[in-house]
Amino acid sequence: MALEPGYPMTAPALPVRPYLDRTIAATFRERLGQFQVVVVTGIRQAGKTTLVRRLLPDWDYVTLEDLDQRRFADQDPRGFLAEHPGRTIIDEFQRVPALTSYLQGAVDRTSNPGQYVLTGSQSYLLQSQVSQSLAGRVALLVLLPFSPAEVPHGSARPGLDAVLFRGGFPAVVAWDLPPAAWYSSYVSTYVERDVRQVLAVRDLIQFQTFLKLVAARVGQLLNLSSLAVDAAISVPTARQWLSVLEAGHVIRRVAPWFENAGKRLVKTPKLYFADTGLLCRLLGVESPSDLARHPQRGAVFENWVLTEILKAWHHRGEDPPVWFWRDTEGHEVDFLVHRAGRLHPIEVKAGTTVQPDFFKGLRYLAAQDAARGVAHGESATDGVVVFAGDARQTRGGLSAVPWRELPVALDRMRG
């Protein structure tokens, strides 16, 4: 059949999606020169595959999401690795757990670093596999969504509410997809799929309710019994669902600080999400202007500060040394960063104008340290307030840091 005049002979070209440089790239290259295997894990759609393929364009690439490749690796692991003898990226590696043991033999034939890169989002499977079979041979890196410091900006930089609402996933930041639509799809496509695969959740509406209830508790002490009752599930089920979400880097628990390190692991934690865009979607926030009026705006801002702390350490190949402080009388400091024997308290305030009571928690903690005779270096003298304004201020030796300057403040803490 003849085509009508003007009928396009080829499909229109898709827009080229830009690539933004990641802070973790330097750490990745360094670990690749030190270890035989590098594992890159993190929340789904944070850009793991794009990162490693861009940094290693000449390497072989295979994904175990592909059913044929997965069957090959599962049924004939030796043959699979013989076909991919090194300088290979294996994506979604946790899909074939038994492959790890065979990979150990493959990398031990030579001590050369940089033989394989493994990626995957389900870190609860990846870490257990590689830690047993590849101990001493593997470096583990965690990639989280973009930090604002990684995103180039023009003359008109987005305001705080726009940054919180947008979040940091590449699809929203680099490809400029609409946040509300993308995050709705993300929850059903990735978060729910992962939980179904691991836990065989049958009632997705109940799980969606559970996610929204967790979002409503961001920044609060975790009351597992209350959460289970509100979600109409058992406490063991709630605990199991939270564990899977945390292992997939969807949520993060922050434990309280105690001088006795053993106690830090058993006291009640606070919950946060890996990305504020995802959090806003679960809270039902429809736009930046909606967020500006939302009763949870302060909690969303606090969550953003926590994610920036995590990125400042994870993207440099280190475990984030972050806790919160709270006493039995209800005095609290939002976060404590412990670095090189020194405590750095961080308070988060969503106001744009610095108020005297912004520093109340920091001053109380400093006074408690002084009263107990805490040695210099473990005191609250390095405390800062991160607030929603634009100009740095100092009050009585304590700094109020504008939100845009948080990456600089965290770099100072890292030393």
Query: How far is it, in rounded angstroms, from Cα 132 to Cα 100?
Result: 9
Q: Is the pTM of this model over 0.85?
A: yes
Select from 366, 368, 354, 365 the least CA-distant residue to 399: 354
Question: Any idea what DSSP says for residue 4?
Answer: P
Q: Which domains does the chain have, with CATH numbers?
A: 24-142 (3.40.50.300), 148-307 (1.10.10), 321-415 (3.40.1350)
pLDDT at 126 over 70: no
pLDDT at 11 over 80: no
- Angle in degrees, CA 347, 273, 201, rounded to 5: 155
Query: How far is it, in rounded angstroms, from Cα 188 to Cα 11?
Result: 30
339-379 pLDDT, tens per residue?
Answer: 888 889 999 999 999 998 999 999 888 887 665 555 434 44
280-330 pLDDT, tens per residue?
Answer: 999 999 999 999 999 999 999 999 999 999 999 999 999 999 999 988 788
Which secondary structure element, helix H or strand E, spans residue 245, and what is its range? helix 235-247
- Top pLDDT among 169 and 374 is at 169
pLDDT bin (cut points 50, 70, 90) of residue 174 is: confident
- DSSP bridge partners of 323: 336
pLDDT of residue 123: 57
Mean pLDDT of the chain: 86
